[in-house]
Amino acid sequence: MMLASLPTGPLEVNCYLIGCENTGKAAVIDPGGDAESILALLRQHGLTLIMVINTHGHFDHIGANRALLEKTACALLIHKDDAPLLQRAAEHAALFGLSASRSPEPTRLLKDGDFITVGDFSLRVIHTPGHSPGGICLQVEDCLFVGDTLFSGSIGRTDLPGGNHQQLINNINEKLLHLADETRVYPGHGPATTIGQEKRHNPFLTG
């Protein structure tokens, strides 16, 4: 599996590109904006985009959905509970003094335990609501893409509509912290970390 990342959009969301080196197929996780930069990264690695996956529906994670779908005819995947947020991007962005356009409708609605195939590898969907109702994490090999569920030394905010602090904490404890300590955690903002690091040092989880 090939992995690359770049900050995208006005809130510098970590957009991740994962590609299958054998088949040349790729998925993009959370394209917050800057579609041309994402497309250039795909060309640089000789990959064909077959899907965009949103870890949740907040405006800063979906900004390049429309451009990528229009330019590549790829699929769009999101958890079923966050699909309604795709049409409320402008409303959500206004809370931050920003603007956003609607995303296209999703091609596939995800649920907990689903598998998403990209070439020769598969990502497992882990539903972790709390930051948003349909927030998900994606596990592939020893990598975990967590959106805004978990950060290095922190957790996702829960004061936005649909957020629930205790639900988020419970999901992190019950669904993520049992994974191997060496599992690499790739969040929606900020630096990467590991499950072991967060188990030992994250103040929201160790108190």
Band (102; pLDDT cuts 50, 70, 90): confident
Distance between CA atoms of residues 81 and 125, nearest Å: 13
| pLDDT tens digits, one per residue of 51-73 | 999 999 999 999 999 999 999 99
Q: What is the pLDDT of residues 146-190, one digit of tens each?
A: 999 999 999 999 998 899 999 999 999 999 999 999 999 999 999
Task: Express each pLDDT in 130-149 by its tens digit.
Answer: 999 999 999 999 999 999 99
Delineate the domains of the chain, giving CATH numbers in brackets. 2-206 (3.60.15.10)
